[in-house]
Amino acid sequence: MSAQSHPADNTAGSASTHGYNFGYLDEQTKRMIRRTLLKALAVPGYQAPFGGREMPLAYGWGTGGIQITASILGPDDVLKVIDQGADDTTNAVSIRRFFERVSDVATTEATEDATVVQTRHRIPETPLREGQIIVYQVPQPEPLRKLEPRETETRKMHAYAEYGLMQVELYENIARFGHIATTYDYPAVVNGRYLMAPSPIPKFDNPKMEDNPSIQLFGAGREKRIYAVPPYTKVKSLDFDDHPFRIQGWDQHCSLCGASDSYLDEVITDDRGGRMFICSDTDYCGKRREAGHVGDGGPQPAVEARLK
Amino acid sequence: MYVAVKGGERAILNSHKLIAEERRGDPSLAELTIEQIAAQFKLAVDRVMTEGSVYDPELAALALKQAQGDAVEAIFLLRAYRTTLPRFAVSAPIETRQMDVRRRISAAYKDLPGGQVLGPTYDYTHRLLDFELAANGGVGEPQAEAADEPLPDLMPPVLDILDREDLIEQEIADRENEPVFDLTRESMSFPAGRDQRLQNLARGDEGFVLGLAYSTTRGYGGAHPFVGEVRYGEVAVEITPEELGFAIEIGDVSVTECQMINQFQGSKDHPAQFTRGYGLSFGHGERKAMSMAMVDRALRAKELGEDAIHPAQDDEFVLSHTDNIEAVGFVTHFKLPHYVDFQAELQLVRKLRAEHAARHEMKEAAE
């Protein structure tokens, strides 16, 4: 499961992809994106516009992340692609296959073996380390968009660090529900300056962004914006002194591996209301089971066969 | 025990085989050739070239075949292919004055230098299903009657007539030395200049731009435009290679151009004068070129000092939503799994309900 797999040979896939440049994009485009990435890293959390290109995948399916990944991949890289934490969901499989076809990089499902992790909606449970890069697919990079539809306005708000509106939104949550009712894409201030949409990761993952040794890159293809969090950077999730930021917690443990520290997916098991909870991070869960951890659901050969 | 199915590689591969099967249809029928599509579905090909922003009838025909005739999917294929092409030059502005005209009409003047040239148009057909076409599978080799004398080489734009009297605003002067915004290489920025707006509208979804144009004439824009001129034909494309230093012709493209005349009462800074709206599409695309010209004019409301209160006058609204490739991607992405965010919401709703129930109980106990 954790073994690296190489494409069959250097022709990178079938005849239909023959003749494409390494990493699909042409070298000028990749250079343009790398320059934008440097700018984004230099101004943490700032949404740097870039000349986003049409990709052979639909907008909203990860074109921003794919363009970044294509621009930073080198022949020696090892790529992991996850969607919702899992390596085996359709979009993850499809993007991984794309890079197997248009570049010659090795791919892996193991977080610790990857040099580049492209993700949709999760940060792996296994801590990232220096030298690794995590690329987020971002549908809506503008954290203020829901509060202010006009780009001209939000640009000014960022320029003046005028984020009161977001604080008011969170306050209104508290007034209405008794607590902050934002559960994913939870706004955070990067390096004490820019308000950032952390992509639709659950707020469970927000603390992992802070002081992370890896490079975190965010790509929004449809909106043509790139932003970044450099290694060891402060990422503060918005909150109030009397309503501090809190992450989700579960009463259950993972039925497969017994983990109590990971983000859990609810799996419906029958039509009588039966359900179980399993790690959304398939690699993390698999590694724990390999190490002998068993969840309270006991061994689940049927489920494990599915997840293989 | 039932376990939710996760998608895998095998399912994807099988799905690919299924579309291939559907695309081919009944194998006892002859397969469509690219040439047939390019020749006989020309208007579909022209639309795909325009919104795919690649001038190549063969590639557009291939895209249409691969997409089973779905225009937006074909446009998507072409755009994605376009990404991989290097840009070796930027052409000089095409000279539509020098167009080899196949059709040229004006709704503003009954007759004019060069005359009205009807050319190929559905405008005056009766939209009755032609069962002959179904029965015989074709109409043989139709031959339109040739005119007694060829069209003049130079056909001056209709708007020149108004221009001579200073009744219409000047066409934008030569901007050869000014940098032109390039929407395919730069990200959209607001407020958008006219160059950026026109590029966006040219690539924009025909249906959406048409709807916006429609809205401007139905009270959401107060426009009553006149078709100064619609012309369709071939123009030469010229580039100036750096090593040569002078322009050379690299080929012809066929385009449709629309110049729209709009009323304008004048403002503090401008005396009353007609104003222009401009539209251009690859191939034969009058609906698109006209719609584009009307929306272009609507988007100029602010610069002309008009009240900009309607959707078609709002550059941010219009330009952010014209691109069908962007729109399709975002709308369809909801098909992707959302387990993680849904789980987050599910948890919250349960929590809110539990809290609500607890409050309710307390209130009942107090009563």
- For residue B290, what pLDDT is reported? 97
- For residue B159, what pLDDT is reported? 87
CA–CA separation, A245 and A174 (whole Å): 12
- For residue A303, what pLDDT is reported? 56
Element (H, E) at A158: helix A151-159
- For residue A298, what pLDDT is reported? 61
Q: Are A78 and A108 in contact (CB under 8 A)?
A: yes
Smallest Cβ–Cβ distance between B1 and the set A55, A184, A302 belongs to A302
Kindly give, in sequence order, each residue whose CB lies less than 8 Å from that of residue A24, ignoring residues fewer than 6 positions away: A55, A56, A70, A98, A102, A103, B83, B84
CA–CA separation, B51 and B101 (whole Å): 23
Whether the pLDDT of residue A51 is over 70: the answer is: yes
Q: What is the pLDDT of residues A21-31, one digit of tens each?
A: 999 999 999 99
Tell me the CB-side half-sphere exposure of residue A74, using CA atoms within 13 A.
5
**What letters, b where the CB count within 10 A reaches 16 and e where it falls short, cover A9-29?**
eeebbeeeeeebebbbbbeeb
Q: Are A122 and B340 in contact (CB under 8 A)?
A: yes
CA distance B234 to chain A (A): 28
The fraction of chain A above a pLDDT of 70, given in percent, is: 90
- For residue A305, what pLDDT is reported? 56
- For residue A252, what pLDDT is reported? 92
Specify the higher pLDDT residue, B181 or A229.
A229
- For residue A107, what pLDDT is reported? 96
Smallest Cβ–Cβ distance between B339 and the set A84, A97, A270 belongs to A84
Kindly give, in sequence order, each residue whose CB lies less than 8 Å from that of residue B60, ignoring residues fewer than 6 positions away: B38, B45, B46, B48, B49, B52, B54, B74, B78
CA–CA separation, A127 and A112 (whole Å): 8
Q: Are A171 and A181 in contact (CB under 8 A)?
A: no
Task: Name the residue with tokens 């078609």.
Answer: B312
> Which residues in chain A are closer than 8 Å to B316, comparing Cβ atoms?
150-152
- For residue A15, what pLDDT is reported? 38
- For residue B42, what pLDDT is reported? 97
Q: Which residues of A are catalytic?
A: 45, 254, 257, 279, 285
Q: Where are the alpha helices (DSSP H) in chain B?
A: 9-24, 34-40, 42-52, 57-66, 71-83, 131-136, 159-164, 194-203, 206-216, 286-299, 315-321, 324-332, 339-366
Mean pLDDT, residues A254-270: 91
Residue B230 CB neighbour total at 10 angstroms: 23
CA distance A53 to chain B (A): 6
Question: Would you call the peptide bond into A301 cis, given omega within 30 degrees of 0 as the criterion?
Answer: no
Confidence check on the interface: ipTM exceeds 0.85, yes or no: no
Mean pLDDT, residues A235-261: 95
- Beta carbons of A202 and B1 less than 8 Å apart: no
Nearest residue in A to B81, CA atom: A56
Taking 50 as the pLDDT cut, the residues of chain B under it are 1
Q: Where are the alpha helices (DSSP H) in A192-281?
A: 206-209
Tokens of B331: 């709308």
Give ∠ CA A149-A155-A160 in degrees, rounded to 5. 125
CA–CA separation, A65 and A69 (whole Å): 6
CA–CA separation, A185 and A169 (whole Å): 14
Please indicate if any CB of chain B lies within 8 Å of the CB of A5.
Answer: no
Beta bridge partners of A266: A277
Nearest CA among B109, B107, B288 for reference residue B209:
B288
HEC profile of B213-254: HHHHCCCCCCCCCEEEEEEEEEEEEEECCCCCCCCEEEEEEE
Radius of gyration of chain B (CA): 26
How would DSSP label each residue in B71-108?
HHHHHHHHHHHHHTSPP---PPPP-GGG-EEEEEE-SS
Pairing verdict, β A78-83 and A106-107: parallel
| Highest-confidence segment of A110-124, A268-282, B112-126 | A110-124
Pairing verdict, β A133-137 and A116-120: parallel
Q: Structure pTM?
A: 0.85
Whether the pLDDT of residue A3 is over 80: the answer is: no
> Which residues in chain B are closer than 8 Å to A88, comparing Cβ atoms?
6-8
| DSSP category for residue B124 | T
How far out from the chain centre does Cα A205 lie? 10
CA distance B99 to chain A (A): 32
- Beta carbons of A90 and B11 less than 8 Å apart: yes
Please indicate if any CB of chain B lies within 8 Å of the CB of A248.
Answer: yes
Q: What's the mean pLDDT when you consider all of chain A?
A: 90
CA–CA separation, A73 and A25 (whole Å): 11
Mean pLDDT, residues A258-284: 90
Please indicate if any CB of chain A lies within 8 Å of the CB of B173.
Answer: no
Nearest CA among A111, A281, A119 for reference residue A201:
A119
CA–CA separation, B244 and B138 (whole Å): 49
- For residue A105, what pLDDT is reported? 93
Kindly give, in sequence order, each residue whose CB lies less than 8 Å from that of residue B264, ignoring residues fewer than 6 positions away: B169, B270, B272, B273, B274, B275, B304
Instruction: Look up residue B266 and give its amino acid.
Output: G
3-class SS of residue B113: coil
Pairing verdict, β A235-237 and A188-190: antiparallel
Kindly give, in sequence order, each residue whose CB lies less than 8 Å from that of residue A93, ignoring residues fewer than 6 positions away: B7, B8, B9, B12
CA–CA separation, B196 and B190 (whole Å): 10
The answer for B322, left when phi > 0, alpha when psi is -120 to 50, beta otherwise, is alpha
Kindly give, in sequence order, each residue whose CB lies less than 8 Å from that of residue B165, ignoring residues fewer than 6 positions away: none
Kindly tell me the burial class for residue A256, based on how many C-beta atoms sit within 10 Å of its own C-beta (0-12, 13-18, 19 or more): buried
Kindly tell me the burial class for residue A249, based on how many C-beta atoms sit within 10 Å of its own C-beta (0-12, 13-18, 19 or more): exposed
Smallest Cβ–Cβ distance between B4 and the set A24, A183, A267 belongs to A267
Instruction: Look up residue A301 and give its amino acid.
Output: P
Chains A–B, number of C-beta pairs less than 8 Å apart: 161
- For residue B108, what pLDDT is reported? 87
- Sign (positive or negative) of CA dihedral A137, A142, A145, A146: positive
CA–CA separation, B145 and B152 (whole Å): 18
Q: Are B175 and B193 in contact (CB under 8 A)?
A: no
Residue B178 CB neighbour total at 10 angstroms: 9
- Beta carbons of A202 and B344 less than 8 Å apart: yes
